[in-house]
Structure 1
Amino acid sequence: VEHVARTEDLTVRIPVEDDSDDEIARLSRSFNSMTASLASSRDLQQQLIADAGHELRTPLTSLRTNIELLTRSEETGRPIPEADRKALLASVKAQMTELAALIGDLQELSRPDTGQHEGRTRILPWHDVVESALRRARLRGPELTITADVRPWYVRAEPSALERAVVNVLDNAVKFSPESGTVDVRLADGVLTVRDHGPGIPADELPHVFDRFWRSPSARALPGSGLGLSIVARTVQHAGGEVTLTPAEGGGTTATVRLPGAPKPPPEVP
């Protein structure tokens, strides 16, 4: 223990005989379990920081390049053609939006996994959350046909986190849908399904879709931080549910979110 405190070397384990069950043995096993958990947490934290730095570098580099071009034009008195200037400003705006979204996603993922969430949860009409997310999705994909069959279901969750999770699922479907495509949304008996008719997800990529910063090679040219589905998985897990992505029959992908709840709200306590 003194060695760990002095060196912060969390890989050290106290040797314990398998058949020993006295107080020292139990304490040693508990200490080994604690240091293993701390080591895993530290590794995840370092990986998150490294991944975040990598993701932030791309929009920052693009921003710096565009701003330097605009600054050089002002300093030298050589105006940039109007069409090019508009394109540069549009690129700056897009990169700032991407940075803001990435920072927001990182803040969401940096929140503690347990404890603090319980005080913010309450009984919610999940159908209302889905309807609100559908309105946003239709604005983002006006060329798409988004069908919806939404039936009442009440869940216990954190309001803002649940809405963000549903929005992320719908955004994914909108982003990967072909032009003039269809997205089918259904909520019934505590199961939300969102089915798109896009290119689908290769079988070898399915195990990674909920990993932080993971993006399919075919999607790296599209906007996004690679954190959306990680946030979905985290939110659904906190609400006691599960989320899966599976290939849809006939092509495309079906996202399925299951949350415990009931078709009617619980009676109010007098």
Structure 2
Amino acid sequence: MDIVSKWTDLLEAGIIKTNNGVIVELNAAARAMGFEEGKVVRIPKSRILKTEIGECEALIYGEHIILKPIDTFSQMKQFLIDAIAHEILTPITSIGGLLYLVKEGIDVEKNIEKIENHLGKIARIVDELLLLSKVEMGNYVPRSRRVELRGVIQEILKLYADRVERKKLEVKVKARGMMKTDPEALGIIVRNIISNAIKYTDPGGKVTISASNKRIVVEDTGVGIPPKELPFIFQRFFRASNVRDRGGSGLGLAIAKHLAEVLGFEIAIDSRLGVGTRVELKM
């Protein structure tokens, strides 16, 4: 049943109260629209807001708010299916084209290597989802050993060599020393950070990676993150509004954040819209 009421109080940034006592917490996307008292904001029905009655779709017109309770589980499940399907379908489509070239005898060795890379990407997506599930259920136990940082970074960069070459990016690495940690978890964290830097840096841009035994820093000259959206960047499925045309599931940084906490790391992001982003992973 839809609830129609007037909102009466702006309790704090993004939190409003209606005249029938319902507390409404605007989601990241709604907050990013600059919602404030006295301002007319139209929120499409696809926006999900958290209220005392559960997750809702909403329309806000000036002082009036219309709330429509939804089946959150079904919606989030569908979002996950759509996002993961897209992430997996892309390499599968590429594999189909590459197999045709192999059958025709065109650059066989090179194209087989590309197929192996795409299959590896699919396997990594599945592995990361399974690992995230373990972490969230408290079933993941880190296995620490000494990890050579330059080797970890170089192996990750091999995965994105084609994209770096295609975009003509300048990638600089300054890494030294060892770090005692879980190599699998560290690899996933750093891979997601580097992947984002490469994905969201425009052609001709620069990505700089530095690492020591206490911290790893990845800096890029990419598109940056809108300031109002930065606090929500580690949330599951969150995609910054200025990069939603570039693909992705919105899970990478959520996974990185969860794993960092398990390993005892701090992960922080500093970003300037149109200038670039700096991500620091610190013990």
- Corresponding residue number in structure 2 for 1:164: 188
| Greater Rg by CA | 1
Q: 1:59 to 1:117 in 2, by over 3 A?
A: closer
By how many angstroms is 1:47 displaced?
6.0
> Please, which of 186, 201, 219 is the counterpart of residue 195 of structure 1?
219
Q: Which amino acid aligns with 2:164?
A: G
Q: Which amino acid aligns with 1:183?
A: V
> Please, which of 131, 141, 152 is the counterpart of residue 129 of structure 1?
152
Gaps of 5+ in 2: 1-54, 56-70, 90-118
Query: Normalization by structure 2: what TM-score?
Result: 0.55
- Corresponding residue number in structure 2 for 1:228: 252
- Corresponding residue number in structure 2 for 1:35: none
- Aligned to 1:210, what secondary structure does the other structure show? coil
Counterpart contact for 2:223–2:273, Cα < 8 Å: no
- Corresponding residue number in structure 2 for 1:151: 176
- Aligned to 1:166, what secondary structure does the other structure show? helix
Q: Which amino acid aligns with 1:222?
A: R
Q: Which has the higher contact order (CA 8 A, sep 6+)?
A: 1
**1:158-217 alpha-carbon deviations (Å, 9 max, x no partner):** x22211211110010001111011111111341211111112111111111110000012
Q: Which has the higher strand share?
A: 2
1:209 matches 2:233 = yes
Once the two structures are superposed, the pairs formed by residues 1-270 of structure 1 within 5 Å of their partners are: 50-57=75-82, 103-113=126-136, 116-118=139-141, 120-142=143-165, 143-157=168-182, 159-247=183-271, 251-259=275-283
**1:120-154 alpha-carbon deviations (Å, 9 max, x no partner):** 33332333212222332333321211011101132
* Alpha-carbon separation, structure 2, partners of 1:102 and 1:119: 19
- Corresponding residue number in structure 1 for 2:7: none
Q: Which amino acid aligns with 1:151?
A: R
Q: 1:145 to 1:107 in 2, by over 3 A?
A: same
* Alpha-carbon separation, structure 2, partners of 1:146 and 1:48: 41
- Aligned to 1:204, what secondary structure does the other structure show? helix
- Aligned to 2:228, what secondary structure does the other structure show? coil
Counterpart contact for 1:190–1:258, Cα < 8 Å: yes
What is the aligned length? Answer: 184
Query: Normalization by structure 1: what TM-score?
Result: 0.58
* Alpha-carbon separation, structure 1, partners of 2:181 and 2:121: 31
Counterpart contact for 2:192–2:256, Cα < 8 Å: yes
* Alpha-carbon separation, structure 1, partners of 2:269 and 2:73: 23
Q: 1:228 to 1:47 in 2, by over 3 A?
A: farther
- Corresponding residue number in structure 2 for 1:13: none
* Alpha-carbon separation, structure 2, partners of 1:225 and 1:247: 20
Instruction: Give me the identity figure in percent.
Output: 27
